[in-house]
Structure 1
Amino acid sequence: MMDQASKRSKGDRPFYQPPENIPTSAEIINDARQSIGRPLQVVKTKRPFTPREDRRSLFGPTSTRNPETRPPSAFSLTSRHFDGADSRPASGTKLSPLPHRPSCTSINEEQTPRVPTEPDVEVLLPPKPPTDPNKATRKVPRTRVIHSNSVDASSPDSPGINKSGSLTDLSSRQTEGSTTDTSRRTHSGPKERTPIPKEERGEGDGKEMPHRAPSQASVRSPPRSASSREVESRVSSGGTKRTSSAGSTGRAGSAGKRDTEESQEETLFYTQNIAPRLEELALLGKKREGDKLCECADSLYKLLQKENLLGKNCKQRSTILKSVFKLLDLEEPKVLLRVARLILAFRVSGNNLLNVCKLVFKVSRNEKNDPEFLRGNILELLSKTLSCTDHTTSCEALIYCVGAIKFLTGNTTIVKQLVKENCIEGLGQLLDGINKTNRENGKVNEQLGHILVQLTAALRNLADANSSREKFLNCHIVEGLCTVVDTYALDGDLMLNISRIFSKITLHTDCCTVLADQPSSYKSFINLLNKHLQKSDMVVRVCFVLGNITAKNDEARVRLFQENKAFDVLLSVLKLYLEMDLKAQGKEEKPEEGERGNKLNKREDVMIKVVRVIANLSINETVGPLIASNALCIDLLLSILEYKEIPTSEELVLNTVATINNLSYYSVKTSMINQHQMRVIEALLKLVLADNMEGMIEASRVFGNLTRQKTVRDFLVQHKVDQMMVTMLDSGNREVVYISCGVLINFMVDEEKRPALKKEGGVKKLIEVLRDFGRTDWELASLVCQILWNYSGKITSSNACFGEQEAQDLLDLLIEYTDQDSALDSSFKEEETDEEMRKYYYETWREFYPVAEQLLHRLETHQSDFEPLENPGTP
């Protein structure tokens, strides 16, 4: 009798109390907290919805920038706005005069006059020396060359230079037509520069060079020396492709001859190939024949590109640009883009660069013109402009250039092409340059801020491309944007764009890691929340980014929580938007259209993101107990549950319950969850009764932690929650079954609650769960055995306790499952498993074995065909 009583007393203990003198008790318990509650979970949420802007504008309708200091979005632009010579310095400062250098110091030095490279520089030609040393020198005013096309090198007053580089006798150059040469028009056309054969220059070598028939202008103009023509060519073109603009004709005779021949070939090429196309462009422009004009412009571009005459290599660059500028008065977008392509390809600067960027910006404002940007290489040229333009001297031009790119990135097809054309790299270089300038100046430049608004808006769209993430990381754009956040924290437009970029790229772990590793990132984000607390668009994205970082990095959870006043700021955000939402209740509002036509409550969206950050922070075992002990935090979370309904605010409610579940995991004395556990239970009971499966699952997870307290178990039984948990065992969803098992383990601790399990068919359902899931999920099988162990604490007969058929089925399953070979062979056959999965099955089976072995021993010990007497002493 004493032995039997001793056995009964041992069998009465709850599962989580260690049995005496049984060595496997530690394995049976195996962390009671984990057995009755679900492990901490990361909370997920949707990325904030960004509505598409209806109109393309330089600064959006919600911009807070001062209209007086920002560039305009609308302007007039015609050909008269362009400078024909493309010569004005970008800084707007006047060039200092060139120092005077004599054309030659002696006959032996063989020097030519030095000619500047820029076509607009004023060149003062030296006075001609006397032809006869014995005659008096006649004073002749120096000739002023204003423009490349105004050089009058054939004037009889101009000095002559022979083939060897020395000055020639002027009397030998006086020809019959010299008087008509001086009357030549200052701005002469291409036809008036017909090249002169070698024999006329005295350089004939027995072969004649082909040339066009002399035009009327060339008939009027007498032959000029090669040296004078070379001077004119250099002044007009800003230097040849093969010789220095400073001049290299001081070489020996052969070198001077080669340079002269090259200049003649280039002039001939221009006359025969380029000039006719320019004339055709002008004619088509007058006739306004757009399609033909586009074909002609494309033909000219290909020709210049083939001959390497784009950029600043072409001598006739200014002449070509003048002709092209005249086409800017046309209104057809496809024509304007062809013209803009030519202008950009010539690498213009100053006012012309500003105006061509305005031109592209103007065309890009209408999304109907987007297909035209996919023709030719205009996107490539725009991308190159980003990295080749000085942001300090061409700030306004870059604003419109990057603004145009921003518009174009709204088109997904163009985005892919821009990524291929290294647009992200160009924007990254520009971003680094601006950060460097601000760092060196030690102050914020407002105009550079205008560029950054366009730049970040473009990056925001480019971040959507699949291939862009790697470029973002390689170009260190994340680091650059963090620097901008520190520098321009008060710029609302700029901070909103950057928060949108981060909200996209932090969906990926590698970008989260880079951002989390930035030393000032946490401080910067908290600072943004403080400074822009009322701007829900920015706050919701900053909180979303913090949620992404803390979801994937445990170190980030600690660093964010330890940041000065960081958690207080998060709670202030949650409190503000909760109060705003409470005040708005009952008022008629017009909610914005969200994704897929859903109504969007911005205040609620902010709360969803903040609650998610709190949930993710609480996963850390150091931070979690501290948050659970924060009275304000728990009060705010419970307030959300108490006034929000799951049908209208499902995501907010579910995220809040998940946060409370994480916090309820920590059984510390200071836990506000434990102190307000009945308030928590009452709030959660509303979800269980709401006929919402997700709500029931989330609430049940909290029940699994809180049912460690008897008062909670009693309250839940009064509301028949134990019966709901038994019903959930029929679900084929492993997660649902797992959660219900976790709650039932605790209910079976109380002896008076055990009969309900058998009455509701729970024993039979648990055995079915063991049969269905056991071989593939030893963790769930272990939970089932733990429930049955607690349930059978007062066992006297297996058949009486479980039922005759149920006891036999359970006995057979436990015998099979406790045999290692049989159990694991069955597991491996169910799935195609690799070595890692086999190891996992073996380790989880080892945790299952001691629980199942003890339950099997209890069944075998109390196996009997006799029913126990209720009152053995009664006659």
Structure 2
Amino acid sequence: MSMESNAQRKRQPDRPFYLPKGDTTSSRIITEAKESLNNRTGLQAVVTKRPSTPRDATRSLFGATSTRAPENRPPSSFSLGSRHFDGADTSRPTSRTRLQPINHKPKLPSEEEVESGLLPPKPPSDPNKVQRGKATRTRLQQSTSVESSLSSEVKSRLDTSPSDVKTVDEPVRRVHSGPKERSSLPVEERGEGDGREMPYRAPSSASVRSPPRSAESRTGSGGTKRTSSAGSTGRGGSAGKREEETAEEALFYSQNIAPLLERMTAASSKKDLKKLGQVTEDLYSLLQKENLLGRNCKQRTTILKSIFKLLDADDTRIQLKLARLILAFKVTGNNLLSACKLVFKISRNEKNDPEFLKGDILDVLLDTLKSTDPFSASEALVFCIGSLKLLTGNATIVKQLVKKDCIENLAILLNSINKTIREGSEPSTQLGNILVQATAALRNLADTGSSRERLLGCQVIEALCLIIDSFTSDGDLMLNISRIFSKVTLHTDCCTALADHPTSYRSFVSILQKHQHKSDVVVRVSFVLGNMTAKNEVARLRLFQEAGSFDILLSLFRFYLEQDVKNQGKETKKEVAEDGSTVNKTEDVLIKVIRVIANLSINENVGPVICSNYQCVDFLLKVLETKEVSSSEELVLNTVATINNLSFYNTKTSAITTLQVRVLEVLLKLVLANNMEAMVEACRVFANLTRQKVVRDFLAEQKIDRMLVTMLDSGNREVVYISCGVLINFMVDEENRPMLKQEHGIRKLIEVLRDFSRTDWELASLVCQILWNYSGKITSSNDCFGQQESQDLTELLAELLDRDSALDLSFKDEADDEMTDYFEETWTEQFCPVAEQLLQRIETHQSDLEPLDNPSGS
């Protein structure tokens, strides 16, 4: 162990612990100063780096580590072309929801009704037998019977309002019937003399309603007027409404839109992709300018059919432009799914990212996200949000999406799903697939500067907590949510929002219980809990009081410690982080779990309970016994810091006290290691344990007290502080006091007092306490401290006790009133009381009389 000389320490003074490292507020300076003082008392919150994020080599929906079965998730790779789009975009979106049967039982006709000719006669009991005794009905009679039958069917379906039926002569099309299954037309509607049937006439409002039809079926075989194909968008659109195209609209289409479609087709056939792209842009701009996008255009279906035929163009830029047009038309059903798949397929290649920054494709995607129902078009939404997720891997696109309120739109989706589940719907696999994409996108969006305020403003944190409660078993989803929280809880405001949520602790405990063996989930949830408990006393208490919380922490500790011991000496596969570094996943989990235990133990009510848990202390000691600080530095340092916090509680049931010999042995190994941080952490524990004489005697035999005196020359403020803390306890024993003077400790302490007192009054106070304990049996100041040391100490203490001299800071201009008051408070309350007593003792035992060399020879 190399130490800097005293001269070097003076040439390179250490920065005072309360001074800012950069531009910061005075309140922050005070906060950091108080935190530093709290750490010096023996209790400290453990700090660790955020879990590494593995490199994602391929852009896909769920990633290579997904736990989803292939049959429960849409594929990331698929073939897609014009044949996958419907020629006519139906007004009613496809739905997999099974319709409920109609609660209506038709009344059977009586014999009188049959015989009167109002209804067709009952069929024979044996349909294979022919009733030969009856004459054949005429064609007119057959028609009349059909009319009567249809009239009865209308009446039975209406059931309550027979007066609404205006006429029984109107033809009725049966629900879901094809052209060949349509009923024969009445004689009155046939042509006179030629025997041909007249065109089919739409039923009146009193007739049975048929489902919405395609645009082609609406125009009819002999119709001449174009009708609107507008229908449902999937969220309560006006299905079935029909508007006739005006002459002005027809003229606009023929003069403006149709020529562009023809040019697009011609360019496609000639494979002139540049021209095709330009004309596609022209068409989009025209439709957007005339407000003909969405479902407003009467020729919407015709335009879509033309666009679909162009999708086989082997150029992603053209495909993206066409996909934008399709989505802007608010397509539904299969066309919506195919369009979202197309965009997703293009977004999988990061070389295409610049194309998404052109035009308003991002706005169209976000609009599709807002307008698509997660329950009736779930698969389409998976690919839509999946595209956004992949695009958030691009830093430039992320900033654009944040500005376009992508976070807010995703928050609306989360709240919509939570509301539906709260109202009684069961969490489904399809909803889980949507949420996996949404949370993955939020994970990437959380990295931008303004995202934290947006996440808090639209209550994403609260929404994610509710999702945890509903989808705890979904490993992919829990991983994404834990990644979001591991990012945002690096900030105090997000930590506070999460800690204040009533179910957050229960939710995280549930995740740990459900996914104990998924290290990527456990490491992040543990990191989040460590952040929540780092500075929040209420969070420490609430987490510890949550049912099963500490038991699951110990269970995780045991499992991953056993895994680590098994893997020692073996070649284990390490995870490669985004920054290129390698991470031992098992060790990383142990680091995060131990950190939670360390932070919990800071609470004065929780600490003594954990300190009495022999299993916990045993696990901590096993870590130090099996790991080396040279290869597992963070794990070892976190473990020692946890032992330090637990050793602070000197209770009768303390496992640290019971196992103190074992504790001292593992700590001695760290003191002898060539690692200054490990030595400091070990000495922190010594400062607590040396309150017992048996420990002081053991360490004195190992010459630890002499090593501590040597550390006074280290030049490191915290090292000097810890050394002084332990030496105070050693000086309680009279047999240990001579060592201080033999190792030139008095002179070193005077130098520490001179160098650090004006910038660290707490450290100056510790120096005075050491000298006070050391001089407990003083008879002469010169004999006790040394003549020169006694004189220097007297002068220095008198100077430091003078207010004007002590508080005359060289950096006074940098300190505001709040900082000055704080600094004066530590001088008054911590330094002056012990320094005044020490100075009085030294002066009391000093003599101004000098002995005569030869009294008889004068």
| Residue among 39, 48, 51 paired with 2:51 | 48
> Is 1:62 aligned with 2:65?
yes
Kept in 1: contact 2:38–2:44 (CA 8 A):
no
1:279 corresponds in structure 2 to 262
1: CA distance between counterparts of 2:702 and 2:43?
27
Distance 2:455 2:241 in 1: 43
Please state how far the C-alpha of 1:588 moved relative to its aligned partner: 3.0
Shift in Å at residue 247 of structure 1?
8.3
User: Which amino acid in the other structure matches residue 73 of structure 1?
Assistant: S
Deviation per CA, 1:314-352: give whole Å up to 9, x if none: 222112111111111112110110001111111111111
Q: Which residue of 1 aligns with 2:88?
A: 85
Give the letter for the 1:499 counterpart: S
Q: Which residue of structure 1 aligns with residue 444 of structure 2?
A: 461
- Counterparts in 2 of 1:829 and 1:582: CA distance versus 1, 3 Å: closer
Q: Tell me, yes or no, if the aligned pair for 1:615 and 1:658 is still in contact at 8 Å.
A: yes
**Corresponding residue to 1:509 among 492, 495, 509:** 492
Distance change >3 Å, CA 866–CA 800, structure 1 → 2:
farther
One-letter identity of the residue aligned with 1:590: K
SS of the residue 1:551 aligns to: coil
Are 1:340 and 2:323 counterparts? yes
Shift of 1:614: 0.4
Corresponding residue for residue 31 of structure 2: none
Task: Look up the equivalent residue of 2:341 and give its one-letter code.
Answer: K
Please say if 1:834 is aligned against 2:834: no
Of 732-741 and 661-670, the range deviating more from structure 2: 732-741
For the Cα contact (< 8 Å) 1:37–1:742, is it kept in 2? no
Written as runs of structure 1 = structure 2, the 5 A alignment for 1:738-777 is: 738-777=721-760
Correspondent of 1:576 among 533, 554, 559:
559
- In the TM superposition, residue 820 of structure 1 has moved relative to its aligned partner by 1.9
Tell me the SS of whatever aligns to 1:68: helix
Aligned partners of 1:641 and 1:683 also within 8 Å: yes
Displacement of 1:59 = 2.2
> Within 2, Cα distance between the matches of 1:92 and 1:775?
77
CA contact (8 A) 2:435 2:477 kept: yes
Match of 1:537 among 517, 520, 529: 520
1:166 equivalent in structure 2: none
Partner amino acid, structure 2, of 1:842: E
Structure 2 residue corresponding to 1:296, chosen from 260, 279, 282: 279
Using the TM superposition, give the Cα deviation of residue 746 of structure 1 relative to its aligned residue in structure 2, in angstroms: 0.9
1:97-246 correspondence to structure 2 within 5 Å: 141-143=198-200, 148=215, 232-235=225-228
Partner residue of 1:402 out of 382, 385, 394: 385
Structure 1 residues 235 and 344: CA distance shift in structure 2, 3 A: closer
**Which residue does the alignment assign to 2:768?**
785
Structure 1 position 557 matched with structure 2 position 545: no
Cα distance in 1, alignment partners of residues 478 and 776 from structure 2 = 63
Letter in 2 for 1:839: D
How many Å apart are 1:608 and its aligned residue?
Answer: 0.6
**Inter-partner Cα distance in structure 1 for 2:239 and 2:638:** 71
SS of corresponding position for 1:46: coil
* Equivalent runs, 1:209-608 vs 2, <5 Å: 232-235=225-228, 263-594=246-577, 596-608=579-591
State the Cα distance separating 1:244 from its structure 2 match.
13
Residues 868 and 664 of structure 1, relative CA distance in 2, 3 Å threshold: farther
What are the Cα deviations for residues 187-206 of structure 1, in whole angstroms up to 9, with x where unaligned?
xxxxxxxxxxxxxxxxxxxx
State the aligned residue count: 724
Using the size of structure 2 for normalisation, the TM-score is 0.79
Please give the secondary structure, in 1, of the residue aligned with 2:71: coil
**Are the aligned partners of 1:799 and 1:865 in contact in 2 as well (CA < 8 Å)?**
no
Over residues 232-273 of structure 1, what are the superposed CA-to-partner deviations in whole Å (9 max), with x where a residue is unaligned?
24446789xxx999689xxxxxxxxxx99xx33333322222
Residues 152 and 338 (structure 1), Cα distance of their counterparts in 2 relative to 1, 3 Å cut:
closer
- What is the distance in 1 between the residues matched to 2:586 and 2:358? 45
Q: How far apart, CA to CA, are the structure 1 residues paired with 2:585 and 2:231?
A: 60
- SS of the aligned residue for 2:199 comes to coil
Distance 1:401 1:236 in 2: 24
In structure 1, the partner of 2:146 is: none
Structure 1: state its 5+ residue gaps: 1-33, 101-120, 156-181, 187-228, 249-258, 870-875
Q: Which amino acid aligns with 1:837?
A: M
CA distance in 2, matches of 1:689, 1:147: 84
Match of 1:655 among 628, 633, 638: 638
In the superposition, relative to structure 1, how do residues 708 and 150 fare at CA in structure 2: closer, same or farther (>3 Å)?
Answer: closer
Aligned CA-pair RMSD: 3.4
* Aligned mates of 2:38, 2:53 — CA distance in 1: 42
> CA 1:59/1:136 → structure 2, altered by over 3 Å: closer, same or farther?
same
Change (3 A) 1:482 1:238: closer
Distance 2:729 2:39 in 1: 7
Residue by residue, what CA displacement relative to the aligned partner does 1:732-760 show, whole Å, maximum 9, x if unpaired? 22212111111111111111212221222
Whole-Å separation in 2 of the counterparts to 1:278 and 1:516: 58
- 1:144 deviates by 6.1
Q: Mark the CA change 1:50 to 1:867 in structure 2 (over 3 Å): closer, same or farther.
A: farther
Find the aligned partners of 1:868 and 1:751 in 2 and give their Cα distance: 29
Asked if the contact 1:88/1:351 (under 8 Å) is kept, the reply is: no
Write out per-residue CA displacement over residues 445-476 of structure 1, whole angstroms, 9 at most, x where no aligned residue: 11111111222222222222222112212222
Distance 1:868 1:67 in 2: 99
Residue 828 of structure 1 contacts residue 838 of structure 1 at CA under 8 Å; is this kept in 2?
A: no
**CA separation of 1:538/1:867 partners in 2, compared to 1, >3 Å: closer, same or farther?**
farther
1:62 partner SS: coil
Number of the residue aligned with 1:704? 687
Q: Deviations over 1:643-667 (max 9, x none)?
A: 2110011101100110111111111
Task: Tell me which residue corresponds to 2:800.
Answer: 817
C-alpha distance in 2 between matches for 1:478 and 1:151: 49
- Residue 71 of structure 1 is matched in structure 2 by 74
Q: Structure 1: which amino acid aligns with 2:824?
A: Y
The answer as to whether partners of 1:664 and 1:702 remain within 8 angstroms in 2 is yes
- Asked if the contact 1:612/1:655 (under 8 Å) is kept, the reply is yes
Taking the aligned partners of 1:246 and 1:723, their CA distance within structure 2 comes to 94
- Does the CA-based 8 Å contact 1:792-1:801 persist in structure 2? yes
Change (3 A) 1:151 1:850: closer
The amino acid that maps onto 1:757 is L
Q: 1:310 to 1:445 in 2, by over 3 A?
A: same
8 Å contact from structure 2 (residues 55, 576) kept in 1: no
The amino acid of 1:645's aligned partner reads E
CA distance in 2, matches of 1:745, 1:37: 14
- State the distance in 1 between where 2:38 and 2:276 align: 79
1:525 shift after superposition = 1.5
- C-alpha separation in 1, matches of 2:811 and 2:230: 83
CA distance in 2, matches of 1:608, 1:442: 40
C-alpha separation between the residues in 2 aligned to 1:312 and 1:71? 28
Query: Per the alignment, do residues 307 and 619 of structure 1 end up closer, same or farther by CA in structure 2, a change over 3 Å counting?
Result: same
> Secondary structure of the residue that 1:275 maps to in structure 2?
helix
Q: Comparing 683-692 with 440-449, which one deviates more in the overlay?
A: 440-449
The equivalent of 1:730 in structure 2 is: 713
Q: CA deviation at 1:839?
A: 1.0
Distance 1:128 1:314 in 2: 37
Amino acid at match of 2:50: R
SS of equivalent residue, structure 2 residue 779: coil
From the superposition, tell whether residues 435 and 665 of structure 1 become closer, same or farther in structure 2 (CA, over 3 Å).
same
